[in-house]
Copies of this chain bind each other. A is one copy, B any other.
Amino acid sequence: MARPPAPRGTRAATLTDVARLAGVSVATASKALNGRNHVSAVTRERVMEAAAQLSFSPNSLARGLLAGRTGTVGLLTSDLVGRFSLPILMGAEDAFGAGEMSVFLCDARGDAIRERHHVQALLSRRVDGLIVVGSSTDPRPPLAAAVDVPVVYAYAPSEHPEDLSIVPDNVGAGRMAVEHLIACGRTRIAHISGDRGYSAARDRVTGALAALEDAGLALVGDVAYGTWEEGWGRAAASMLLDREPEVDAILCGSDQVARGVLDTLRERGRRVPEDVAVMGFDDWQVMTTGARPQLTSVDMNLEELGRTAARALFEAIDAEHGRGVRTVQCRVVVRGSTAPEA
């Protein structure tokens, strides 16, 4: 295989080298490479050729030092291991990549000290802006340090109302979910939620109840709060079937809870979706498509949320800084657990 030599130690070519090889001054070389005018076509060509020959790549540090802009942003997650950060991060990376920006990734691991440390490092690197990704939709304290670049909070809004935050529309998600179940002809709908301590859980309940009321329906039983896990889904479904055997739809707080619910339903001999429709939240592919039947779920559009945050940061960098909390719409992904396969 013809792989190019990697000359360790021979420092990278500089603009001076290019200029010398092309027989012009550095000023001319710079203008030629950056498409400025006041350079003749033939000279420009000579410079380009010299640059290619030396595989010249301009030093972004020097450029950034001069321009006052580095073309970098910091992406500060509080919990990378959770499954919500990653899609947001991908969306942001996507949006920035297209804009020729580079992303510094920092994970604070839920530790305020570490977070402050990372912010300091990012500011020292003169990032043009910051995205702070939370690990739950509960509001979080704003950054502690004095930050003189724009900041966008994603997923978890800042507690400070003047900050710009981008969050999923969980109330709307709860509403959409119930509306979908009603559209599938269900009228006796129960809700097995997740951890009551999370605003995401409570917001979805709010939306779900509102949609029921709009349709002149009432929830079957009480909202069952518990955890986000499969085991809770199995247990809660069991209790629900004992108390409210006539239920014909179960909205679950997460896909994992839904998986547990599906298990219990199968063991109890209830058919899905014929007897009971089941719906999850988060649209976690590995959970939804592995289930029998495949699981209808609400996608929070996190990748879109990440992109939105990135675009908002862009705007804040070279225009005016937005304020307040903006929401990103969720969407229902219909699969076999609510609608029979065509």
Residue A229 lies at the interface, judged by CB distance under 8 Å to chain B = yes
Is the pair B80, A89 in contact by a Cβ cutoff of 8 Å? yes
Q: Tell me the A209-242 residues at the B interface (CB within 8 Å).
A: 229-231, 234
CA distance A6 to B100 in the complex (A): 26
Please, which residues of chain B bring their CB within 8 A of the CB of A259? 290
Please, which residues of chain B bring their CB within 8 A of the CB of A65? 59, 61-62, 65
Number of interface residues of A (CB under 8 A): 72
A259 to nearest B CB, angstroms?
7
Please, which residues of chain B bring their CB within 8 A of the CB of A292? 234, 263
A→B interface (CB under 8 Å): 1, 3-8, 10-12, 55, 57-62, 64-65, 68, 70, 72, 75, 80-81, 83, 86-87, 89-90, 93-94, 97, 100, 102-107, 114, 118, 120-126, 142, 145-148, 150, 159-160, 229-231, 234, 256, 259-260, 263, 286-287, 289-292, 321
Please, which residues of chain B bring their CB within 8 A of the CB of A125? 60-61, 72, 102
A146 and B4 contact, Cβ closer than 8 Å, known pairs A105-B105, A121-B100, A231-B290: yes
Give the nearest-CB partner of A57 in chain B: B124
Is the pair A148, B12 in contact by a Cβ cutoff of 8 Å? yes
Is the pair A124, B6 in contact by a Cβ cutoff of 8 Å? no
A233 to nearest B CB, angstroms?
9
Please, which residues of chain B bring their CB within 8 A of the CB of A83? 286
A33 to nearest B CB, angstroms?
12
CA distance A102 to B114 in the complex (A): 13
CA distance A195 to B331 in the complex (A): 32
Enumerate 5 A-B pairs (CB-CB under 8 Å) in ascending A order. A58-B124, A72-B104, A89-B105, A97-B106, A103-B106
Give the nearest-CB partner of A68 in chain B: B11
Is the pair A103, B105 in contact by a Cβ cutoff of 8 Å? yes
Is the pair A1, B160 in contact by a Cβ cutoff of 8 Å? yes
Please, which residues of chain B bring their CB within 8 A of the CB of A5? 146
CA distance A67 to B27 in the complex (A): 24
Is the pair A102, B106 in contact by a Cβ cutoff of 8 Å? yes
Is the pair A80, B93 in contact by a Cβ cutoff of 8 Å? yes
Please, which residues of chain B bring their CB within 8 A of the CB of A287? 286
| 14 more CB-based (< 8 A) A-B contacts, given A8-B321, A61-B61 | A3-B160, A8-B150, A59-B124, A59-B126, A60-B125, A61-B62, A61-B65, A65-B65, A80-B90, A80-B93, A93-B106, A103-B105, A229-B290, A231-B290
CA distance A83 to B90 in the complex (A): 13
CA distance A100 to B75 in the complex (A): 16
CA distance A100 to B10 in the complex (A): 25
> Which residue of B64, B87, B103, B256 is within 8 Å of A61 (Cβ)?
B64
Is the pair A146, B61 in contact by a Cβ cutoff of 8 Å? no
CA distance A160 to B4 in the complex (A): 12
Give the nearest-CB partner of A92 in chain B: B105
> Which residue of B60, B114, B120, B256 is within 8 Å of A57 (Cβ)?
B120
> Which residue of B122, B160, B290 is within 8 Å of A230 (Cβ)?
B290
A113 to nearest B CB, angstroms?
12
